[in-house]
Each structure stands twice: as structure tokens, then as C-alpha cells.
Amino acid sequence: MTDADARILERLRREPVVSGARLSADLRVSRAAVWKHIEQLRARGYRIAAARARGYRLIASPDRLLPDEIGHLLVTTRFGRVIEHHETIGSTNTAALERARAGAPEGTLVVAERQTHGRGRLGRRWVSPRSVNFYGSFVLRPTLAPADAPQIALAAALAVARALAPLAPGRIAIKWPNDCLLDGRKVAGILTEMDAELDRVRAVVLGIGVNLNASARAFPAELRSLATSVRLATGARVDRVAFAAALCAALEAVYDRLLQAGFEALMAEWNTYSCLTGRNVVIECAGRRSTGTVRGLDEHGRLVLAGAAGDEHIVAGDVTLVDGYAGLATRSASR
Ligand code: BTN
């Protein structure tokens, strides 16, 4: 987008109607040039009405996660201040790791309308249909020891829950370590990857996928009973751009708190969303299985599991509920 396109767009956002004469005078370009810029904006998907006597009116913005669109709603200082947008990409995490290695600043966001090789945790794939959901990866440069880096994914799950909560009040839960559920079905997932030395984190890539407007058909048959989207669950279409800006704000707030005060400072709120406390679970990690009842999280974000041999503090793993997923929704925070 040219500078003139951006300035015209900014005026159209601020004022209900702007005359061609005023735009031409303020931008110091001809009326014909104003018209050309309006045509360029239309080609980018902006719906702009033109009334001969009154001027131009912005009717609708494109439903795309464009830097300009997210940018004008941002209240952050770092998260989302640099945005790289792709129509189609293999995986935003792969691209963000490359940008991190090339020196991208903290908060840089690689976002895509569609991923052809969206990656999930534990080598799974992340279904990423076009222009209905949020797929984005942030470059982070945390001052944390590599051993504490998993806390970033936990904190991010809290941020995703905060961003989703207004869209489905009282129905969002977090399943440790970092799945977000809506009515007990998975609505968002987080994949963190690290560029680190043994004792120093160079960068963390925080990849987030949130099912916002996907229809049931978008999910493969085997996932339909396990996954959902906000639209499927609530019937309401989500403004993806507004969601992306809200997510950036929530992430910056929890990330800064984590770095300043440690995971302990986020624990109370995390627990209000946690759906595992008191549940009987099996946790598998690197071929090891632990069974027991979840007591909660400790101050480092480890899951405290009461098992036959006493309490175990678990750093990472894949959790299965022994009694199934019924009742998870009612355990989520009532906010
Ligand atoms: C999970 O398995 O729950 C994690 C899913 C993470 C998906 C997101 S979508 C954006 C980013 N790019 C990827 O390839 N994966 C993450």
C-alpha cells in the first residue's frame, strides 16, 4: 500500500464521508489521483462508496489479516508492530524461525490466511483452511533460561483464553499445558519452538492457531467431535482482525508480567481457566506414562499430579482424561 493509499484509508476510517476535493487539497494531489488511490484500495478489497455530491465513504474493510488493518487497532508497543502477511504459507512457525535467526525484532508477527503444512505439537498437523481462522507466529527474545522457556507457552495459553473469553463468556478453559477449549472442545493450540544455546535463549517462536470462523466441514471427520470454532459453538461470526489485535494486547500483557514477576504472578488467573484440577489423568511424555489426580500447577507452571507414589511435578506431556471430556466446560472460568 502506498503512503497516499494509507493516508486516504486513515481519513475514511476516521470520518463517515470525505469529499474528493478535501482529500485532494489535504494530500496535495489532483482529484484524478485521489480517484486512482480509491481504485487501488478497492482492488485490495476495501468497499468504498462514492456519491457525486458528498464524497467517499468506507463501507467495509477486507476480511484479511493485513498489517494495516491489525495495525490501526493495536495498543501494544512490540507485539504485532511488525507484521508479515501471507496469503498462503507452509507454516508461519517455520517462517518466523527464519526471521528470528535473521534478527527480526521482538514481537514480529508472521500471519497467514492459509497454511499448507500447519504444524501442531508432537508432530501432529494443524488444519489451516483459508481466511476463516487465525494462524500466526510471534518472534520473542525472552530473558529466560532455556529450562524456563516452557512457561512462555503456558502464559500464552492464558493470553489466548483472555482474548477468547469475551467471545464465549464462561465457556473457555485451558487444558494444561497450552490447549484452549470451548465447551470442552479444542478451539486453539500453541506450538513454541526455540533457537537456543545450552544456557541462553536466542529466540522463541510462539505459534498460535485459533479456530474462529471455521465450519464443521473444515475439520477432518476424526476431529469433528474433538475440535470446534468460535462460530460453530456460538453462532456468531468473529471479526478476525479485531481478534488479532486483542490477542497481541493480551500476549504483550502476560508476557511482560511473566518476565517481570515470574509464572507465579499468572498462576491464580491460570487456575481459574484450568479444567484439569481434580481430574484423573494419564500423562505421556517421551515414552513415560504417569497416572494420578491433578492437584494444580506449581509456581513454575509444572503440573502437580498426585499418584500412587506421591506427588509428581511434570514439566511437559500429553494429557488424557481418564473419565473423558464430559463436564470440562462447566469447570472453566465463569467470566
Ligand atoms: C497444537 O498442536 O495444539 C499446536 C497447534 C499450533 C498451530 C499454530 S498455527 C500457527 C503456527 N504455525 C504452525 O505451523 N503451527 C502454529
| Cα–Cα separations (whole angstroms), residue 67 to 62, 83, 184, 245, 253 | 12, 5, 32, 10, 20
- Range of weakest confidence among 79-93, 177-191, 287-301: 287-301
The stretches of 28-138 forming alpha helices (DSSP H) are 31-43, 67-71, 92-101
Last residue of a domain, one of 273, 288, 305: 273
Instruction: Give the pLDDT of residue 326.
Output: 55
* 88 and 235 both lie in a single domain: yes
* 184 and 150 both lie in a single domain: yes
The protein residue whose alpha carbon is closest to atom 11 in ligand 1 is 207
Atom nearest to 136 CA in ligand 1: 10
The mean pLDDT value of the chain amounts to 93
Q: What are phi and psi of 112, to 5 degrees?
A: -140, 150
For ligand 1, pick from 65, 119, 140, 204 the residue to mutate: most ligand atoms within 8 Å of CB: 119
> How far apart (Å, rounded) are the C-alpha atoms in residues 136 and 119?
12
For the stretch 233-289, pLDDT in tens is 999 999 999 999 999 999 999 999 999 999 999 999 999 999 999 999 999 988 889
Strands 172-175 and 134-140: unpaired
The pLDDT confidence band at residue 332, using thresholds 50, 70 and 90, is very low
Nearest to 188 by CA among 153, 217, 236: 153
Last residue of a domain, one of 15, 39, 60: 60
| Cα–Cα separations (whole angstroms), residue 214 to 146, 151, 180, 209, 275 | 35, 29, 16, 12, 24
> What's the gap in Å between 40 CA and the centre of ligand 1?
34
pLDDT over 70, % of the chain: 97
* 162 and 299 both lie in a single domain: no
Instruction: Tell me whether residue 114 is in a domain.
Output: yes
Q: Cell 475439520 identifies what position?
A: 219
> What's the gap in Å between 323 CA and the centre of ligand 1?
27
* 32 and 164 both lie in a single domain: no
Strands 109-115 and 83-89: parallel
* 291 and 252 both lie in a single domain: no
Atom nearest to 115 CA in ligand 1: 14
Instruction: Give the pLDDT of residue 29.
Output: 93
Residue 113 scores a pLDDT above 70: yes
Atom nearest to 94 CA in ligand 1: 14
The protein residue whose alpha carbon is closest to atom 7 in ligand 1 is 209
For residues 177 and 153, is the Cβ–Cβ distance under 8 A? yes
Stronger pLDDT, 328 or 182, i.e. the higher one:
182
Last residue of a domain, one of 37, 60, 83: 60
> How far apart (Å, rounded) are the C-alpha atoms in residues 59 and 49?
7
* 181 and 158 both lie in a single domain: yes
* 153 and 170 both lie in a single domain: yes
* 296 and 212 both lie in a single domain: no
Instruction: Tell me whether residue 261 is in a domain.
Output: yes
Q: Is the pTM of this model over 0.85?
A: yes
> What's the gap in Å between 117 CA and the centre of ligand 1?
10
Q: Cell 481418564 identifies what position?
A: 322
pLDDT over 90, % of the chain: 84
* 202 and 242 both lie in a single domain: yes
The protein residue whose alpha carbon is closest to atom 15 in ligand 1 is 119
* 260 and 291 both lie in a single domain: no
Instruction: Tell me whether residue 332 is in a domain.
Output: no
Atom nearest to 128 CA in ligand 1: 9
> What's the gap in Å between 125 CA and the centre of ligand 1?
8
Domain that holds residue 184: 67-273
Query: What is the total count of domains within the chain?
Result: 3
> What's the gap in Å between 93 CA and the centre of ligand 1?
8
> What's the gap in Å between 335 CA and the centre of ligand 1?
26
Q: Cell 488493518 identifies what position?
A: 69
Pocket of ligand 1 (CB under 6 A): 91-93, 115, 118-121, 124, 126, 135-137, 179, 189-191, 207-209
Instruction: Tell me whether residue 331 is in a domain.
Output: no
Q: Cell 464524497 identifies what position?
A: 55
Instruction: Tell me whether residue 133 is in a domain.
Output: yes
Stronger pLDDT, 326 or 81, i.e. the higher one:
81
| Cα 180 → chain centroid | 11
Instruction: Tell me whether residue 285 is in a domain.
Output: yes
Say which CATH number the domain at 317 has.
2.30.30.100
Instruction: Tell me whether residue 326 is in a domain.
Output: no
Instruction: Tell me whether residue 330 is in a domain.
Output: no
Prior bond of 177 cis (ω within 30°): yes
* 128 and 215 both lie in a single domain: yes
Atom nearest to 178 CA in ligand 1: 3
Residue 192 scores a pLDDT above 70: yes
* 10 and 108 both lie in a single domain: no
For the stretch 116-167, pLDDT in tens is 999 999 889 999 999 999 999 999 999 998 889 999 999 999 999 999 999 9
Say which CATH number the domain at 124 has.
3.30.930.10
> What's the gap in Å between 221 CA and the centre of ligand 1?
19
Say which CATH number the domain at 56 has.
1.10.10.10
